[in-house]
Amino acid sequence: MLRYPILCLLFALFLNSSSEAQTLKVMSYNIHHGYDKDEIDKLEEMGSFIKSSGADLVGLQEVDSLCNRSGKKDQMKRLAEITGMYYAFVRHFAYDGGAYGLGILSRFPIAEIRNDRITSLGKQGSLALLSAEVSLPGNSKVLFSTVHFALDQPTRLKQAEESIRFLKRDFPVILTGDLNAEPGTPEIVKLSDYFRGTGAYEQLSFPEHKPVKRIDYIFVSSTSLKKVLDTKVPGDIYHSDHLPLISRVKLKPVKQKGSSSLKVMSYNIHHANPPSRPDFIDLDAIARVISDQQPDLVAVQEVDVKTVRSGASVNEAELLGAKTGMRYYFAKAIDYDGGDYGLAILSKYKLSSVHTYPLPTAEGSGGEPRVLATAIVKVPGKGKMLFAATHLDAQRSPVNRKLQIAAIAQILEKEKLPVIIGGDFNAEQGTEVIDVLDKYFTRTCTGDCPYTIPVLQPVKTIDFIAFKPAGGFNVTEHKVINETYASDHLPVVVRFDLR
């Protein structure tokens, strides 16, 4: 008789679970390659302690994988066996016949693992920032990350800035790590721009006997943290040269969005050469501009791949993908300076059916060959759509631009999927080129659009984002970012409410 009411109650609880607050027990632990301060192997004891702690998520630093010094053990695999948890490992660098790096243990399934690289002044050039998207009960998720900062403060400050850029999400983020910095230092203050720390400053974690400083931390994205329930540093765990830090945190309920949104950027990056610094390439600056806006899709123009001027080994498209945490596709337009020059598409979503279309130039015009880059992406809340990037001819005469926009219209007119195109069209509103664009697409800004070039005292708009069909997207925001250092163009950013 009670079966159906009980089933209804369970179903209601299931539906509501994703909007309830999540309570998680989190640990950060520098395990000193599984050995104590006297270099005695304590990996088994560490595993037993972690298991008995009841931690849901564990960030580990100084982890060995198949190194001679630690007995050729796969330490993360062994810890996972002892604890019964899911695990992930990424390396900072090769070391002693194996690898040395970071590890994560999770009581919940791990959906995606990332190894973003942060600055190091050592010979390795970069260190790992390990993050894993963890699937929590109730159809919710958290980005769980661990890191080990450098010994010198200037590098740590840069690493803090990079960590924020790599980890920004619109869902909860937890960062753990040995940051080699005490509370109140600039790098810890910088992390507080995005995160809130757990525990009191006087909860010391290093060294393990008679600790004198706090250098181990657990941070939670400020917008996601409801409450820190408690934090402790077990003072009798001498398996490493650090003490473990354990916090119980309650995350805010995840609000269910009524409609999805899509953020799109178009950016001519001037091959990452800041106008104020001739012959200098600053790809980090471009990556910062992009990451600060957290776009879903980016149309990038003037991209170098292995050119002399930008570095014979430097693939700007690939590096931008790595630095922003996005997938990428490079579309070559021409051979240039010992390498390639063209467009890139960056995407938070998987790219498929990528294609580069050559665009026409009038014979004898001396115009530089141009291309149209396209990719199909599957956007949550929208389904499949086609994203395109282009860069039209820059000559004073519009003859090539007219040919090129006509070719783009012909190529994309036949596309049955919704289309968004971004690019440097080298033409202003009211010209024949933009009139053709407007015939086949709807621009995200018409009339008094913000200027995009030059970056200092801009006087015209030549960078646009447009879409089709006209009723396929609802533009809720169109803006130009006033960033005057990184490139000679200002980036255009548009937010769509998907319908």
Cβ-Cβ contacts under 8 Å for 480 (sequence gap 6 or more): 450, 451, 452, 490, 491, 492, 493
β-partners of residue 341 are 304, 334
- Strands in 225-232's sheet, in edge-to-edge order, are 86-95, 98-106, 57-65, 22-30, 245-251, 225-232
497 DSSP assignment: E
Which of 178, 262, 164 is closest to 214 using CA atoms? 178
The three-state secondary structure class of 187 is helix
Cβ–Cβ under 8 Å, residues 272 and 310: yes
Q: Domains plus CATH for the chain?
A: 21-251 (3.60.10.10), 261-498 (3.60.10.10)
pLDDT band, residue 140 (cuts 50/70/90): confident
pLDDT of residue 136: 83
Band of residue 202 on the pLDDT scale cut at 50, 70, 90: confident
CA 106: distance to chain centroid?
21
Tell me which of 20 and 110 has the higher pLDDT.
110
DSSP3 helix / strand / coil % (the chain, rounded to 5): 20, 40, 40
Among 202, 240, 314, CA closest to 38 = 240
Q: Is 326 helix (H, G, I), strand (E, B) or coil?
A: coil
Task: Please indicate whether residue 460 or residue 259 has the higher confidence score (pLDDT).
Answer: 460
Structure tokens at 426: 């080298």
Residue 462: C-alpha distances to residues 156, 165, 393, 429 (Å): 39, 28, 12, 8
- Asked whether the beta carbons of 362 and 328 are under 8 A apart, the reply is no
The CA distance from 190 to 149, in Å, is 13
pLDDT at 82 > cutoff 90: yes
What rounded mean pLDDT belongs to the chain? 91
The pLDDT confidence band at residue 499, using thresholds 50, 70 and 90, is low
Confidence (pTM): 0.56
Across the range 412-427, mean pLDDT stands at 96
Tell me the C-alpha distance between 159 and 119, whole Å: 6
159 contacts 126 by C-beta, under 8 angstroms = no
Report pLDDT for 14.
38
Q: Is residue 209 within 8 Å of residue 182, measured between CB atoms?
A: no
Q: In terms of pLDDT, which residue wins out, 5 or 458?
A: 458
User: Which is nearest to 424 in space by CA: 371, 354, 486?
Assistant: 371
CA distance 298 to 266: 6
Strand 57-65 vs strand 22-30: parallel, antiparallel, or unpaired?
Answer: parallel
Establish how many alpha carbons lie within 13 A of residue 386's alpha carbon, considering only the half-sphere containing its beta carbon: 21
Length of the chain: 499
> Pick from 112, 55, 111: which is nearest to 79 by CA?
55
pLDDT tens digit string along 431-459?
999 999 999 999 999 888 999 999 999 99
Nearest-Å Rg of the Cα atoms of the chain is: 26
pLDDT of residue 9: 40
Q: Is the peptide bond before 207 cis (omega within 30 degrees of 0)?
A: yes
Question: Cβ(387)–Cβ(348) under 8 Å?
Answer: no
Residue with tokens 């209601």: 12
